[in-house]
Amino acid sequence: MKKIIVFIAFIVLSSCKQTITNDNIQYLNGYWEIEKVELPSGEMKEYKVNETIDFFKIESNKGFRKKVMPQLDGSYLTNDHQEDIIITFKDGDATIQYKTNYASWDENIIELTNDKLVLKNQQELEYHYKRPAKFSIK
């Protein structure tokens, strides 16, 4: 009986994975704030305050990611550093391939909606992002 329950749980959990298509990639554009990181052990690291936010700009599955710093007036401070990106699709999985002058790496897109982004890297760390709340002190 336990084997049947484990098998059913496996099927249910396996079927929950979102299939990322080319149509979903449009949601990647814009600002994303890290919310938490899930370690391979299941432990969570929560982020209450973020000094930087990720900005993605993708067109035709190519683009870049930049780190930007929110300012009190609602604007973002940025610099010229960015990571070039190519989005690839293989066997129902979508992968972001990053490249800078110093390194290259991949992250799998686990979930992507207008309000939620989950990326998983090669060290099995899951990064959970949300859209940042807009604020301004004027």
User: 113: domain range?
Assistant: 20-130
What residue has token string 């859209």?
Answer: 131
Domain annotation covers residue 65? yes
Mean pLDDT over all residues of the chain?
A: 88
Please give the tally of structural domains in the chain.
1
Q: What is the pLDDT of residues 115-128, one digit of tens each?
A: 999 999 999 999 99
Domain annotation covers residue 123? yes
Six-digit token string for 72: 């009190």
33 closest CA partner among 136, 132, 134: 132
Domain annotation covers residue 14? no
Q: Report residue 138's pLDDT band, with 50, 70 and 90 as the boundaries.
A: low
Tell me which amino acid residue 109 is.
Answer: I
Q: What is the pLDDT of residue 11?
A: 47
User: Which domain CATH number covers 50?
Assistant: 2.40.128.20
For residues 57 and 72, which has the higher predicted lDDT (pLDDT)?
57
Within 10 angstroms of residue 11's Cβ, the number of other Cβ atoms is 10
Q: Contacts for 121-125 with beta carbons within 8 Å, 24 or more apart?
A: 123/40, 124/40, 125/37, 125/38, 125/39, 125/40
Q: Contacts for 47-52 with beta carbons within 8 Å, 24 or more apart?
A: 50/132
- Quick one: the chain helix, strand, coil %, rounded to 5? 15, 45, 40
